[in-house]
Structure 1
């Protein structure tokens, strides 16, 4: 008896039709002839060239036999299709809202053209590499291979050097230009590590631990009346929240109240960790005992990425890792939490003959999480760099990887940075915001990945009632155009700027950030067995991520999909339900010899759309089908 074949669902059929059309069109663009001529016989043509970022000094040649891991990025000819799916499943007015793509569907959409795969494999084979030497991503859009420096120089027609960043002592093996056989140029987007120098900024730019003096703080607030904040839970916030931000303060300020999530409905939240930042379990228990007693005895999963460690010595406890995990998991308890410990810290190297591999650890995390069939529905990262120090090809590939997570239903949060519009310095005589393109002109310094249009970027506030904090990063991307979901509010903000102000200092048509904000000063954390204050937008991001994780819990508990890529939703909420976001209208973010941008009514490049009101948002997200 024959069994009738089940026809594909309308959604799958639409995807297949779209993908077939895209592949047919892309095959025309990738119709370069493939011959048996060795690619080494073709003339090389420069692929990328860069000026080294400020502070990096060339010091010497690495050992010829030193091995580096080359990452080769193949074009994703159908990325525009993936982007279309991303916006459709993220738009609350679209009939596909919440119908996220599977890992396999995303990989089909970003797969390179077969001609690109054949050409790159042929090129690698001419240099002696077989399939056994190659490590491919699931979609084959990245190929990794370990190569001696001497061979890498031959393959790329370049010379590598050991570079030292004098202010920090960090080192990297990099070049400032490389070439490929001309016939490969449209089959390879970029090769890394080449011209992309690693970040020299710490992940926590302003975060630091300072001692708390309970008797001094207590004397000022012991009998103080609660602060009236109509949007807060119960309409009041404890007066001490102007001195110490703890779990209770955030529950009050953002109208979370006594809401408690489920431990078993499938909702999860993730925190990324880099630069040997270890989240300490003993400190977590001390934090829980003080701020979240019902969570005492609970913990989180630690996942090692690319050999990341999990050192539980109190002496090795990381300020950033403890801040993120204590508040993200403390606010969302008992939602299961995941901490990703990603290796890749570039150490100080005294001996230039024994340099260390300095591939960007953030890419390692992205490789890992994209290969996972069920990543957490919310992930927060307190990490960033000046956008101008990241080659455009590399920034776009990272951003496209983040779009893949959004298409799969993951809400991705980044802190906006802690240097205002650039260096945090309002003095024009001492500011250091200079372009590194050879012109050396003053310009605002947007941050990346905060400027990626597929993530939700979080700025900072302070005090009760809230005002913008001066270091809150914000501005406009020089790489990514302004997305449609924010066009109306950003155009309105720009229209109200005084004519000619900051002319030439920023790209008014670029992706604007941040999108939201939260408290970013005087968080009380436990580190190394002691409590202390921590500040920075690295505190704001896990806070807002936790609030949206709770909103996911609301939806998942009612049989609805998680919220996924948030920006189309939150900009629509601001337009239709402004009471669901606490508008911040005071403060500014100085830097680059200016006072920066001002917070104002509606969206602004200091606090975005404002801070979240969980109680109001809860009702809204439940109404979305």
Structure 2
């Protein structure tokens, strides 16, 4: 049996797109689980039970990608013919026999595992000592030194292998990533990245100014109950519904906020209302007026980097709905180079889910970042000012070719309109082919 499914997989790999070819390179997929050693570490308790997560690659990524472009291209006869959840899951399924091979590898624990066809993630609860034996390594907790004095809900912690993990050779072309961090601690509060003063005498961010700048009719209000939208809330971000009511009273007098549907794996705490979540909820409801709005309050982080968002888990949750929101707006982004250094398999898994969102008829809008063409690289590497623009620094997942990347408009006071300014442009993507 193993020979037949391996043969079919080999045939499928013969015609890979540039993106797919990288996905199937095992040398860049498993390193993140055993790299990036933290300043503090301790051996994980052998008998503690942790979730081992095994990501499985689509059996035919190229076919999945072709279907996405066919449905998304107005010149194609299949344009707009979106798929049901079961159809999208079938198209992204692992290669024949791949799941059985993983079951056999897990052995006696395989019967307790759960496979999620929405995301191709296989999850099984195992004692740490059994995970270590399976992967031929030791599992350590890694924490940042500065956690002393920080509340438990804000502390950063990841579990990683202390050495290179061993994956059977026949599974290297099947498994996209490994992790024991489904929801690791490590929630980073977003601090203000800029000390710039507000422009336009405080009037630049009003809903009226947004409508005027982008040509949105003042009386444009959603009337179709089926029009739904969504924003995620990551890290320890929260919003306060009473703030939203106040926002509407000030900027849309006479109107009331739309129905808000709370989703996700974390509780929203109104008493901890913060900038990012509040801004997202207020402005998406203030522009897409009267549209039912989902707010996904997500726990955890990228399983390989406690500094980054759990994008895969969020996309998986959205796709699991029979009637998902039709517009997903994401204002978060990470450094593309960093993400692909620590977790390329995780990043490619999100690409698959973004394609599936498109196949389901979901429009995904992602912010290109607040740092222009240089991205976050200059901050991470402490690049001198004179060298900042010598190398582009694309942000991710806005660099993914399967979504719509959104830039920004800088509004200036009249006295500053003649000054030279660097535009808030998007950097060229580095881990995707440019067509």
* Bin of the TM-score, shorter chain as denominator length: 0.7 to 0.9
The separation in 1 between residues aligned to 2:126 and 2:213, in whole angstroms, is 53
Name which of 176, 189, 214 aligns with 1:189: 176
8 A contact 2:119–2:316 mirrored in 1: no
Structure 2 counterparts to residues 304-323 of structure 1, below 5 A: 305-306=264-265, 308-313=266-271, 316-323=272-279
1:122 aligns with 2:104: yes
Question: Which residue number corresponds to residue 59 of structure 2?
Answer: 77
| Change in 2 beyond 3 A, CA 1:389/1:248 | same
1:137 aligns with 2:93: no
The separation in 1 between residues aligned to 2:310 and 2:119, in whole angstroms, is 20
Deviation digits for residues 528-553 of structure 1 (CA, Å, limit 9, x no counterpart):
xxxxxxxxxxxxxxxxxxxxxxxxxx
What value does the CA root-mean-square deviation take over the aligned residues? 3.8
1:247 aligns with 2:207: yes
The separation in 2 between residues aligned to 1:63 and 1:468, in whole angstroms, is 58
Structure 2 residue runs without a partner (length 5+)? 14-26, 148-154
8 A contact 1:344–1:359 mirrored in 2: no
Q: How far is the alpha carbon of 1:155 from its aligned partner?
A: 1.0
Question: Which residue number corresponds to residue 399 of structure 2?
Answer: 451
Instruction: Compare 368-377 and 292-301 and name the one that shifted more.
Output: 292-301
Question: Which residue number corresponds to residue 18 of structure 2?
Answer: none
8 A contact 1:193–1:359 mirrored in 2: no
Instruction: Compare 368-377 and 461-470 and name the one that shifted more.
Output: 461-470
Question: Which residue number corresponds to residue 367 of structure 1?
Answer: 316
| Change in 2 beyond 3 A, CA 1:469/1:321 | farther
Q: How far is the alpha carbon of 1:72 from its aligned partner?
A: 0.8
1:302 aligns with 2:262: yes
| Change in 2 beyond 3 A, CA 1:208/1:202 | farther
Q: How far is the alpha carbon of 1:339 from its aligned partner?
A: 0.7
The separation in 2 between residues aligned to 1:253 and 1:46, in whole angstroms, is 44
The separation in 1 between residues aligned to 2:143 and 2:6, in whole angstroms, is 47
Instruction: Compare 293-302 and 263-272 and name the one that shifted more.
Output: 293-302
8 A contact 2:221–2:289 mirrored in 1: yes
Q: How far is the alpha carbon of 1:162 from its aligned partner?
A: 2.0
| Change in 2 beyond 3 A, CA 1:207/1:65 | farther
Deviation digits for residues 407-458 of structure 1 (CA, Å, limit 9, x no counterpart):
11111111112233134759x9854999xxxxxxx95432211211111122
Name which of 254, 278, 299 aligns with 1:343: 299
1:416 aligns with 2:368: yes
Q: How far is the alpha carbon of 1:462 from its aligned partner?
A: 1.0
| Change in 2 beyond 3 A, CA 1:153/1:191 | same
1:173 aligns with 2:153: no
Q: How far is the alpha carbon of 1:112 from its aligned partner?
A: 1.1
Question: Which residue number corresponds to residue 245 of structure 2?
Answer: 285
8 A contact 1:270–1:340 mirrored in 2: yes
8 A contact 1:172–1:358 mirrored in 2: no
> What is the SS of the residue equivalent to 1:462?
coil
Structure 2 counterparts to residues 469-488 of structure 1, below 5 A: 470=422, 472=424, 474-482=426-434, 484=435
Q: How far is the alpha carbon of 1:208 from its aligned partner?
A: 8.5
| Change in 2 beyond 3 A, CA 1:360/1:136 | farther
The separation in 2 between residues aligned to 1:191 and 1:29, in whole angstroms, is 25
Deviation digits for residues 258-317 of structure 1 (CA, Å, limit 9, x no counterpart):
2323343411111111113122110001100000123236441111x23x102232xx11
Instruction: Compare 156-165 and 78-87 and name the one that shifted more.
Output: 156-165
8 A contact 2:57–2:349 mirrored in 1: no
Structure 2 counterparts to residues 323-338 of structure 1, below 5 A: 323-338=279-294
8 A contact 1:453–1:480 mirrored in 2: yes
> What is the SS of the residue equivalent to 1:481?
coil
The separation in 1 between residues aligned to 2:346 and 2:377, in whole angstroms, is 26
| Change in 2 beyond 3 A, CA 1:97/1:178 | same
8 A contact 1:74–1:141 mirrored in 2: yes
8 A contact 1:204–1:382 mirrored in 2: no
8 A contact 1:48–1:179 mirrored in 2: no
> What is the SS of the residue equivalent to 1:402?
helix
Deviation digits for residues 120-146 of structure 1 (CA, Å, limit 9, x no counterpart):
11112x2x2143x21211357221112
8 A contact 1:30–1:115 mirrored in 2: no
1:380 aligns with 2:344: no
Deviation digits for residues 24-54 of structure 1 (CA, Å, limit 9, x no counterpart):
98455489xxxxxxxxxxxxx997224845x
| Change in 2 beyond 3 A, CA 1:26/1:130 | closer
The separation in 1 between residues aligned to 2:6 and 2:167, in whole angstroms, is 27
8 A contact 2:158–2:185 mirrored in 1: yes
Question: Which residue number corresponds to residue 489 of structure 1?
Answer: none
The separation in 1 between residues aligned to 2:9 and 2:120, in whole angstroms, is 16
TM-score (norm 2): 0.79
The separation in 2 between residues aligned to 1:180 and 1:71, in whole angstroms, is 13
| Change in 2 beyond 3 A, CA 1:253/1:202 | same
The separation in 2 between residues aligned to 1:72 and 1:200, in whole angstroms, is 23
Deviation digits for residues 132-180 of structure 1 (CA, Å, limit 9, x no counterpart):
x212113572211122222211111122222234578622111252111
> What is the SS of the residue equivalent to 2:428?
strand
- How many residues align? The count is 394
Deviation digits for residues 543-571 of structure 1 (CA, Å, limit 9, x no counterpart):
xxxxxxxxxxxxxxxxxxxxxxxxxxxxx
Question: Which residue number corresponds to residue 163 of structure 1?
Answer: 142
The separation in 2 between residues aligned to 1:358 and 1:121, in whole angstroms, is 32
| Change in 2 beyond 3 A, CA 1:205/1:294 | same
| Change in 2 beyond 3 A, CA 1:122/1:471 | farther
Question: Which residue number corresponds to residue 401 of structure 1?
Answer: 353
The separation in 1 between residues aligned to 2:55 and 2:406, in whole angstroms, is 29
8 A contact 1:268–1:336 mirrored in 2: yes
